[in-house]
Structures are given as structure tokens and as C-alpha cells.
Amino acid sequence: MNEEYKRALRKFYKNPSAMFGLILLIFFILIASFAPLLAPPQIPIDPEIENMESMINQLSETKDTSLIDDLTSSFSDYYDFTYGFYLDYADDVKKLEKALKNYQANKNEENLKKLIDELTPLTEDYVLDTSYLENIQNNLNDTKKFNSALKDLENGVKAFLSKATNAEKMKKELDEINSKNSSVDEFLPAAKKYFKDLKSNYIKDLHYDPYLMPIVTYENTPQPPSKEHPFGISNGRDIYYGVVWGTRTGFKIGLIVVITATIIGLFIGSISAYFGGWVDEVLMRITDIFMSIPFMLSAMVLTTVLGTGLDKVMIAMIVFGWMGSARLIRGNILQAKNDQYVLAAKALGVKDSKIIVKHILPNTIFPVLIQASMRIGSMVITAAVLSFLGVGAPQGYADWGSILNYARNWILGGTGGAFEYWYTIVYPGTAMVLFVLAWNLVGDALRDIFDPKLRG
């Protein structure tokens, strides 16, 4: 096996275009993984938290004991404001949970009444949303809706209780800090830990999405590259940020879509080939139907139906993107099924399942994998086209296609000349071209190395 690896690597090294592709790919992987460092997302931070942070920093520098009191008081204020609420009502919600469980175990009138009795005061105090109660009371006759209302309530209770548990944990830590307020050395590490938890809770609750390109100006026309915004500004957003974080989007779209579509294709194709007969007939006709629908049009229709969003785009691309690999693997398996080593393996008593996994798949899967690795690049183009047409990623999402979409009005240039707004296209466009090129070169090299049919 070692020998084989060495030979594969040697082949790879000797192939300059493969090396170029690999280097490009590694470059993109590095950009994607270090995106938070290359283009740090600006999380909007509560001024109170910023205040606490500066106080902690001051305390660790000056060791001024008077700061301890300030810090503890602002900690407890923040605690009361953010967590206290959950803890105050935790017992009542727990009672509600019990009533809900009772009702689910034994669905009778009496238990339902108890459940509603528990729920009513909580919604009246705005602890839980009134819609929980309304949905239950209004749908008493509709079993399906009633059950889903119960399910919602269960989830709501669970979410509340998990917040309450978190609040309890924070309270414990806060008590610990309060008990240690005599010396700076004891107080500081505890306060730091508390602050860290507090800040991470805050960021978690904020649901901040770093993939959203920050709006840096409300100016409508693109701004040329400057020191602060090295790739310029388009549609009020920083292109540099978009290109860097768009690398992640590119990998996400390419890998998820291609892997899922390939698995679906492999599954359908291999079932079709192995069982043959009417199974084959039905599955292949379904494949034909999918293939005869124009891809771009159907993807657009599906995204419009499902609604915008990157996940919807990916679903559309998977739904209309598995047929190639299904056909490829089917053809390969049909060919390999008649190879003599399959018969030989059967003659020596190997199980059917093992024959598929060990003898047929390894001989047939490489072309599919190579095709998949080449498609990763082209999937990014497809997603970009969808974004360009406005049915792709949501507004402001860091995605190369979206940035190109912003440039739509400026492609022809302005009064200053045809290339006045070149930066709105060149940077995201170059990134995309290189990304696709990298995958294609690597895919080609993989075929040269691994395809058993091309081996010596």
C-alpha cells in the first residue's frame, strides 16, 4: 500500500497543473478557515458589556479595590436585567411542565383543565407567549392542530427551562464573586470567568451572523478601493469582507450540494444497476424526467417556491443535480457486474453485499468521485448565477454571486469611463474563476492518479 501511495504522490508532484490546482485550493482553504482573522466580523456589543470589560481591564492593571464594588454592582444589575426573570418563574414553569406531562400521559378533561390553569397566569404575566394558550384553546376540536400546539408548548417550556438552568449557573458564579470581594487577587479570576460566560451568552442570544456583509456606508454608488476597504465598496458593503467570507460560502455550497447529490445519485444508480428489471426501468425513467427539465429554470422555480435563503438554493441544486452521478454509476456497475472477477468472487463464496461493497464499488466509484470533485467548482458558478438573478443568497449575504449582483447596474461603467467600477466585478469574479479552476485541476489530477482503468 505504501508503495502505491508513494507512486500516487510522485505522479502528483510531477504534474505541474495539478500542483497549481492544489496550491490554489490550499490557499482558498486557508482563507476560508482564517476568515475571522482576515476580515474580523464587527459584532455590535452592548455598551454595558463594553463598560464591564474596560473595568475588568482597569482592575487587572491598577488593582484598585474600589473598582470591585462597581463591578459587582454592574454584574448584579446586568444579572437582574438578563437572567433574574428566568429564575423567578422557573418554579411556575416547572409546574406547568409537570401538568403537561400528566396530560400527555393521561388525556382527560381534568388534566387538560389543570394544564390550562397552570398556563393562564404565566401568559398573563407575559412569561410565556399568549399564542401558546390561544392555540390550545382555539383548537380543542381539531386534533391535529391541537397536538401541534401541545408540541409547541413543550418546546417553549423546554427552551425556558434551559435558560433557567443557565441563569441558575450564572447566579452561582455571581454568588461566588460576591463572596470573594475582599481581595483583588481572588476576585479577578472569578470575575473574568463570569464575564466571559456572560459575553458568550450575549453573543449566542444575539444570533449574530458573521456571513452578513456589514454595511459601511449609505452611499449608493460604489466606492473605489481605499486603505480601509482594500477591494472597494459596492452597494454600501465592503467587497473585501464579502470576498473573504464568500470563500466559506463557496466551500459550503460546493461540498454540501455535491456530496449530498452524489450520495443520492450513487444510491439510486447502484440500486438501479444491481437489481435491474423494473426497478431499473422506473428509476431510470425518473432520472430521465429530471434530466429533461431545464436545470436553471427549475432551480429558479424551486427557490422561488421554497423562499430565498442559501439552504433553499442548496436544496434546489441537490434536487436537480443528482442525475449525472446516478447515470454514471449505473453504467459503470452494469459493466463491472459482468467482469470476471465478480464471477470469480462469487465462485469462491463471497457474499452478495460484500461483492457490491468490495469488488464492484471500488472499481466503479472513482469516475463518480472525480466527476464530483469537478462539479464542486461548477456548483459555485450555478449558485452565483442564481444569486445574480436574485433568487439565491439573501440580501447582504457574503457570497460572490451576490457581490456580482450588486455590480449589475455598474457593469457598463459610469460617466468616468467604461471601467470606472471595475473593482465591483474583478475581485469577486477572480475569486470565483480561481476557485473553479482549482477544483477542476485537482479533479483532473485525481483521475490520472486513481482511476484503475488508467493505471499501468
Partner 1 sequence: MKDPILKVNNLHTYFNTEDGEVRAVRGVSFEVHEGETLAIVGESGSGKSVTSLSIMRLLDENGRIAEGEILYKGRDISKIPEDDMRHIRGKEIAMIFQEPMTALNPVFTVGDQIIEMIMLHMGMDAKAARQRAIELLRKVGIPEPEKRVDQYPHELSGGMRQRAMIAMALSCNPKVLIADEPTTALDVTIQAQILELMKELQKEYGMAIIFITHDLGVVAEMSDKAAVMYAGKVVEYGDIVSIFKRPKNPYTWGLMQSIPKLNEEVERLMSIPGTVPNPRKFPKGCGFSNRCFLAKEKCKDEMPELIEVEPGHYSRCFYIDELVKEVEKSRVGEK
Which residues here bind partner 1, judged by CB under 8 A?
1, 3-4, 276, 339-341, 343-351, 358-359, 362-363, 452, 455-456
Q: How far is the CB of 370 from partner 1 (least distance, A)?
A: 15
Return the SS3 of 237: strand
Q: How far is the CB of 299 from partner 1 (least distance, A)?
A: 36
Cα of first residue to Cα of last residue in the chain, in angstroms, is 16
Closer residue to partner 1 in complex, CB, 98/358: 358
Closer residue to partner 1 in complex, CB, 228/339: 339
242: Cβ contacts below 8 Å, ≥ 6 apart: 213, 398, 399, 400, 402, 403, 428
Q: How far is the CB of 341 from partner 1 (least distance, A)?
A: 4
Closer residue to partner 1 in complex, CB, 128/365: 365
Closer residue to partner 1 in complex, CB, 127/345: 345
Which runs of E-coded beta strand occur in 49-124? Answer: none
Q: How far is the CB of 344 from partner 1 (least distance, A)?
A: 4
Q: How far is the CB of 7 from partner 1 (least distance, A)?
A: 11
Compute the C-alpha angle 184/185/189, nearest 5°: 100
Q: How far is the CB of 453 from partner 1 (least distance, A)?
A: 8
Q: How far is the CB of 256 from partner 1 (least distance, A)?
A: 28
Q: How far is the CB of 354 from partner 1 (least distance, A)?
A: 8
Q: Cell 384553546 identifies what position?
A: 137
Closer residue to partner 1 in complex, CB, 272/303: 272
Is 448 within 8 Å of 263 (Cβ atoms)?
Answer: no
Is 292 exposed, middle or buried, given 0-12, 13-18 or 19+ CB atoms closer than 10 A? exposed
Torsion from C-alpha of 93, 94, 98, 104, nearest 10 degrees: 50
Closest alpha carbon to 423 in 398, 406, 447, 440: 406
Closer residue to partner 1 in complex, CB, 191/370: 370
397 in the Ramachandran plot: left (φ > 0), alpha (ψ -120 to 50) or beta? Answer: beta
State how far the Cα of 354 lies from the Cα of 179, in Å rounded to an integer: 65
Tally the residues of the chain.
456
Rounded alpha-carbon distances, angstroms, from residue 78 to 177, 194, 198, 201, 228: 14, 12, 9, 12, 35
Q: How far is the CB of 279 from partner 1 (least distance, A)?
A: 13
Report the interhelical angle of 66-79 vs 184-206 (nearest 10°).
30
Radius of gyration of the chain (CA): 30
State how far the Cα of 137 lies from the Cα of 120, in Å rounded to an integer: 11
Closer residue to partner 1 in complex, CB, 7/151: 7
Closer residue to partner 1 in complex, CB, 45/344: 344
Cell of 355: 461483492
Q: How far is the CB of 12 from partner 1 (least distance, A)?
A: 19
Closer residue to partner 1 in complex, CB, 158/351: 351
State how far the Cα of 129 lies from the Cα of 91, in Å rounded to an integer: 17
Closer residue to partner 1 in complex, CB, 47/452: 452
